[in-house]
Structure 1
């Protein structure tokens, strides 16, 4: 995918006043392909979802993508009836926290 200064897929979130191209920008591309991806620090092994571009444990930027697969255990969920700008057409929607053993997914 060709990189642009502002990715059109971010227009859903309302007014764009920043450069939306980041090291985790591929997250949206993976979602469009039906893949849920997180990041893992290659130095200390810390796992992140939503993905991060830098490790908050060892402060390293050496991250790799991994696919969230399998079945997690539901810890908590909320059904949202009000949402931020750009999500009005998606209401209501549900967010959840899942435990996959070695990591949690929000």
Structure 2
């Protein structure tokens, strides 16, 4: 079992990530194809046009099993601006729910 975390860049990987997100949050969004298409386009647009957003995936044996969205921003600490970041979304394929995928992504 080989696990790798990399930035999501290919359209097909965004399709897989959207399917994971919809499956991980069924009460928040419907699984209809138009919804998935809009979400995929939004994620791809964000990645290409917003330098503060980054999508990363966790692959196991070349299969995407989870992913996350990271946000880069500036924060004032004692009147000094510092670069900081945060997690905006984490989703795991339901088949891998008990395998600590989210923990591995966050670490």
TM-score normalised to the size of structure 1? 0.23
> Would you tell me which structure has more helix in proportion to its own residues?
2
TM-score normalised to the size of structure 2? 0.23
Work out which structure has the larger RCO, using CA pairs closer than 8 Å and 6 or more positions apart in sequence: 2
> Would you tell me which structure has more strand in proportion to its own residues?
2
